[in-house]
Amino acid sequence: MKVVLDPVHGYIELDEIVQELLAIPQMQRLRRVRQLGFSNLVYPGANHTRFEHSLGTMHLASMLMKNLDSIDEDKKMEIRAASLLHDVGHGPFSHVTENVIYKYTRRRHDEIKEIVGKEEIKEVLKKYGISPGDIAKHVEGETSLGQILSSEIDVDRMDYLVRDAHYTGVAFGVVDYNRLINQMHFHEDRLVIDYGGLKAAESLLVSRFWMNTSVYYHHVTRISEAMCSKAVQHMIENGELDPFRLRQMDDIDLVAAMRNAKGYGGELARRLDTRKLYKRALYIGLEEAGKGVLKHRDKIERAEKEIAELAGVDQQCVLVDIPKTPEMLEMKAMIKTDRKLIPLNEASHFVSILQEAHMDNWRMGVYCPKEHCEAVEKAAKEYFNVKKVTKQFKLSDLEETKVQE
C-alpha cells in the first residue's frame, strides 16, 4: 500500500491494482488533460487535471464502500478500478472536445468499453479477475453498484465540485461530502440518502448552482471553448485531424496540431494562445431569447451563416452558442425517511426552488471579433427575433460582476 498527498482530500491510499492501473499510458495521459478546459483564462489556478480528479473519485468511492457491508471485497476492488478509470475516455481539454468527438465517432467520454479492452488495461484487470466489460457497465451507470459513480448524487460530482472550487478559488464549493457519504446506502438496489444527510445534499446542490454561474458557464469560458471546438471541427473537415486520433490526444498534442493548422483553425488557435478572444455580440437569457431559440441547437452552422450574411461579415467571424436548457439531475436523488423514499426536491422546499433559479444561469451567446460586434448584434437579434423585456435584477447578474471579462 502506498499513499499520495492530495490538496483536496489529504492522503489517498493506493492499493496494488490502483498502482498498476495508474502506471498505464491511458491513465498517465490524463495528467495532461485539464479538468476545466479553458477556465484558466478566467481563473489562473484552474490547471488541475483529470488525473487528480480520477484519484479523488476513487478515494471517495473507497470511503463510501467502507460503510457498505453488503458489498464483498472483490466487488469493492472492481468499483475502485472503475472509479479510477471513469474518465479515461475524455479527449483533450475534457468537455471542450466532447461534442466534436461524438459528432464524428459516436463515442461519449463515459463509453470506455473499447479503451478498457485494450491490452494494457485489460491485462491488469484480468490479473485481478475483473472483466473489462463489467468496468465499462459500472462507468456508464448500467449496474446497481455503478450508481456510486454515475447517478443523481455520486462520488464523481462530489469530487469535481470541491476540486474545481479549490483550484479556481471561488467560495461556493463547500460540500459536506463526509456527512453525505456517511448517510448513503443501498435500499432495494437503489443508492439512497438517509434523511440525516438532507442538509449535506442541499449543500451539494447549492455548490453546483453557484459553480455553474461563476465557473462552468462563465462567458469567457464559453467563448474560448466555442472557438476551440470550431477550430477542431474545421481541422477535421479539412483532413488535418483524425477524430478517432483526437480522442487519444492530450492537451499538448491538440495545441500543437492547432498551431500547425492552416487557415481558420490556425487563426483561432493563435487567438486562444494570445487570449485575443471573440467578444459577446449577443448574450441573453431564456426570457429574452424565447424557448423557440432552442430549435436552432441542431442548426448552429446555418444560424452562423445567415447571421453573417445579415451583418455583412465573413461566416467565420460568427460563433453561435446555444446551450441545452439546464437541469439538476441531483434533484431526483432519493431521500429515505422512516416511512418511504421521496425525491430530494420533495424532501426539501429549498431544493425545489433551485430549479427555477438554475434557469437564470442559462445564456445563449453570439460571438465575433470586437470590430464586428455592433453589426452582428443587430443581425442576431433580427435572426432570433429577440424580444425586449424589462430588465430584472438576478443573483446571476450579481455574480457576473465579480469576475473579469
Q: Is the dihedral of CA 48, 14, 139, 111 positive or negative?
A: positive
* Per-chain mean pLDDT for the chain: 93
pLDDT of residue 397: 56
Q: Which amino acid, one-letter code, is at 395?
A: L
Q: Indicate if the pLDDT at residue 312 is higher than 60.
A: yes
pLDDT in tens, 5-62: 999 999 999 999 999 999 999 999 999 999 999 999 999 999 999 999 999 999 999 9
- For residues 137 and 103, give the distance between their C-alpha atoms in angstroms, rounded to a whole number: 22
- For residues 148 and 159, give the distance between their C-alpha atoms in angstroms, rounded to a whole number: 12
Q: Whole-model pTM?
A: 0.92
Q: Is the dihedral of CA 213, 214, 219, 221 positive or negative?
A: negative
Q: pLDDT grade, residue 328 (50/70/90)?
A: confident
In degrees and rounded to multiples of 5, residue 303 shows phi and psi of -60, -45
The residue written with cell numbers 471485497 in the block is 73
Residue 134, SS3 per DSSP: helix
Q: What's the burial of 246, exposed, middle or buried (CB within 10 Å: 0-12/13-18/19+)?
A: buried
Helix, strand and coil percent figures for the chain, each rounded to 5: 60, 10, 30
Q: Which residues contact 79 (CB under 8 A, 6 or more apart)?
A: 61, 65, 71, 138, 145, 148, 149
Burial pattern 292-328, b for ≥16 Cβ within 10 A else e, equals ebeebeeeeeebbebbbebbebeebbbbbbbeeeeeb
Q: Which residues contact 340 (CB under 8 A, 6 or more apart)?
A: none
* Order of strands across the sheet that contains 334-336: 184-187, 190-194, 334-336, 341-343
Q: pLDDT grade, residue 388 (50/70/90)?
A: confident
pLDDT in tens, 222-258: 999 999 999 999 999 999 999 999 999 999 999 999 9
**Which residue segments constitute the domains of the chain, with CATH numbers given?**
2-169 (1.10.3210.10), 278-326+361-405 (3.30.70)
- For residues 31 and 168, give the distance between their C-alpha atoms in angstroms, rounded to a whole number: 18
Q: Indicate if the pLDDT at residue 75 is higher than 90.
A: yes
